A and B are shown apart, each in its own frame.
Chain A
Amino acid sequence: MAIPETVPILGMSWNDVLFLLLAGMMLGSALLVVTLRDIIRCAIALVAAFAALAGIYVLLGAPLVAGAQVLVYIGAIAVLILFAVMLTQAKNAPTRLVFQTQALPAAVAAIVLAVIVALSVTATDWGEVGTRIATATDSLARLLFNEYILPFEVISVLLLAAVIGGVFLAKREDRDA
C-alpha cells in the first residue's frame, strides 16, 4: 500500500504537518523550559526542544547538522546542564520564587521582540528564494576542510581552552593546604 500524497483528513502535505508538529513541540517545550518551577523538569524540556529542532533540521535537508545537534546538544550540553543542576540545587529550591521581580516587563519585551522579528521577516524581500535543497555531506566536508580550515583549527584551540578553563574553574580549592 502506497502512502498518499497528502495527509488523508487534513489535506495538507506531509512536510507541512511534520513542520507544524515539530514547531509546536519545539515552542511548547521551550516555553516549559522558561516557565517550569522544578529546574530538573526544565532541563528535560530543554532536551525535548533540542530533539524537535533536530527534526526540523532534517526537514530542512541538513542531516549532518541534525546529527550534530543530537550529539552535541542532547548528548553533551544537556547532560552537562543536568550534572550542574544536580550539583548546585538545594532541596528547597523549587518551592522558592522562580522569576525576578521584573518578569512582567521581560515578558512584554520578549513579545515585542518576537512581533518585530516576525514583521520585519515578512516585510523583507529575500530575493530569489529557491525551493528547499538538501545539503550533500561530501561537499560540506570538502568546504569545511578547504576554505574553512582556519576557523576549524581555531575552534579546536578554543575548545581546548574551554576544557582547560572549565577544569580550572570547577576545581575545588584546598583552603587548608
Chain B
Amino acid sequence: MSQSLDAYLILAGILFAIGSFGFLARRNAISMLMSIELMLNAVNLAIVAFGAFKPELNVDASVIALMVMAVAAAEATVGLAIVMAIYRNRRTPLVDEYDAMRQ
C-alpha cells in the first residue's frame, strides 16, 4: 500500500476535500485560513508523492514543494494581518458579519 502512488494521491485528495469543506463551512476567518493551509498541504503531498515515484521528477518535486511552502508562509502572514486589521474595525472574527460592502 505504501508502495503505490494511488494511495498517496487519494490521501491528498481526501485532505484537500476536508480543507475545502472547512473553507466553505466555517464562520470564523481564522478557521478558514487554517483550512487553506490544509489544502496547500494536500497539494504539497501530491507533488512530493509524484516526486517519490517518478524518477525523472524526483529532485524537482522537492524543490517545488519547498517553494510552495514559502509561498504558503507569505500567504499566511498577509492573510492573518488582514484578519487582524478587519477585527480591529469590526470587533468580530466571523466572516458573515462583515457586510459593510453589501449596504
- B40: shortest Cβ distance to chain A, in Å? 9
- The residue that B58 contacts in the complex, of A57, A133, A148, A151, with Cβ under 8 A, is A133
Cα A61 to Cα B81 in complex, Å, equals 35
Assess the A135–B59 pair: CB atoms within 8 A: yes
Assess the B66–A99 pair: CB atoms within 8 A: no
- In which size bucket is the chain B interface? 35 or more
Using a CB–CB distance below 8 Å, which chain B residues touch chain A?
1-11, 13-22, 24-31, 33-35, 37-38, 41, 44-45, 48-49, 51-55, 58-63, 65-67, 69-78, 80-85, 87-88, 92-94, 96
Cα A43 to Cα B80 in complex, Å, equals 14
Assess the A121–B31 pair: CB atoms within 8 A: no
Main secondary structure of the interface of B (DSSP, over half): helix
Assess the B71–A139 pair: CB atoms within 8 A: no
Main secondary structure of the interface of A (DSSP, over half): helix
In the complex formed, the residue of A with least CB distance to B38 is A30
In the complex formed, the residue of B with least CB distance to A172 is B88
**Residues on B with beta carbons closer than 8 Å to the beta carbon of A15:** 2-3
Chain A residues with a Cβ closer than 8 Å to the other chain, count? 91
Assess the A73–B37 pair: CB atoms within 8 A: yes
Assess the A121–B82 pair: CB atoms within 8 A: no
**Residues on A with beta carbons closer than 8 Å to the beta carbon of B16:** 113-114, 117
Using a CB–CB distance below 8 Å, which chain A residues touch chain B?
12-13, 15-16, 18-20, 23, 26-27, 30-31, 33-34, 39, 42-43, 46, 49-50, 53, 56-57, 59-62, 64-65, 68-69, 72-73, 76-77, 80-81, 84-85, 87-90, 93, 96-100, 102-103, 106-107, 109-111, 113-114, 117-118, 121-122, 126, 129-136, 139-140, 143-144, 148, 151-152, 155, 158-159, 161-163, 165-170, 172
**Residues on B with beta carbons closer than 8 Å to the beta carbon of A34:** 18-19, 21-22, 25-26, 31, 35, 38
Cα A88 to Cα B18 in complex, Å, equals 24
